[in-house]
Amino acid sequence: MMSESAARHLSRMFHRISVAIAAEKDRLSDLDGAIGDADHGITMVLGFTAVNGELAKLDLDHMLPSEVFTSAATAFLNAVGASTGPLYATAFRRAAQVLKEDEHLSAADQAAIVEAMTAGIRERGKGQRGDKTMLDAWIPATEAAVTARARAAGSLEMWTSILEAAETGANSTRSMVATRGRAARLGERSLGHIDPGAASAVIILRAMKETFAVDTVREQDR
């Protein structure tokens, strides 16, 4: 990265995610209220607030991005024990593992982060596309990242594709019947509502895009 350590850049990503999640806390809880226990907004705020609290204690100028993800995983899991907690903790741990091979946060690394996070969520949740979960945003986001890398797209173009795919995927959960978790008990009544986990995945990916693509473009413009 240019003027700051890669670890500090990554900590700004978590800060952006936290601010964006907090801004949409009520919407996320309302979405969850339609099909679950109405706590998704609160849960996600708790998780990312804990991550930022932990990162604020660390010496980011002497850390690697992989270590930031590892710290984030532990903090998120300690704050959110159930449901979403283990899923994002596993996602962050997988991202840490893949970054150990290349800590530069290049466009290729950014794509690898999205892929690794999705693989972690998928493995931990044992879910797939069409289950009406966060994976309905994460899986298309990963496919978009892979496709963008294959055509050698730059970071901004790649993140634009990732976000579009995630938004389309999240919106598609409206016409899905939940098969997993609490919402599955609702059956057909889960139709017509966007899955809260897919909605928060879009918020996370948008904050990642703003960190990796938009900020970097601004830096280059200076």
Residues in contact with Mg ion by CB under 5 A are 32, 36-37, 39-40
Rounded least distance, CB 182 to Mg ion, Å: 7
At position 163, the amino acid (one-letter code) is L
The torsion defined by the Cα of 4, 68, 17 and 91, in degrees rounded to 10, comes to 140
Asked if 23 and 210 touch (Cβ cutoff 8 Å), the reply is no
Rounded least distance, CB 88 to Mg ion, Å: 14
Our CB check for Mg ion shows the closer of 30 and 39 to be: 39
Our CB check for Mg ion shows the closer of 72 and 178 to be: 178
Rounded to 5 degrees, φ, ψ at 211 are: -75, -50
Closest CA to 178 of 166, 201, 195: 195
Rounded least distance, CB 34 to Mg ion, Å: 11
Structure tokens at 18: 């936290």
The CB-nearest residue to Mg ion is 36
Our CB check for Mg ion shows the closer of 4 and 37 to be: 37
Asked if 89 and 77 touch (Cβ cutoff 8 Å), the reply is yes
Rounded least distance, CB 174 to Mg ion, Å: 18
Structure tokens at 166: 């995630």
Rounded least distance, CB 180 to Mg ion, Å: 13
Rounded least distance, CB 204 to Mg ion, Å: 17
Our CB check for Mg ion shows the closer of 24 and 32 to be: 32
Our CB check for Mg ion shows the closer of 32 and 54 to be: 32
Q: What share of the chain is helix, strand, coil (3-state, %, to 5)?
A: 75, 0, 25
Q: Indicate the DSSP class of residue 214.
A: I
Separation of alpha carbons 61 and 33, rounded Å: 41
Our CB check for Mg ion shows the closer of 68 and 183 to be: 183
At position 3, the amino acid (one-letter code) is S
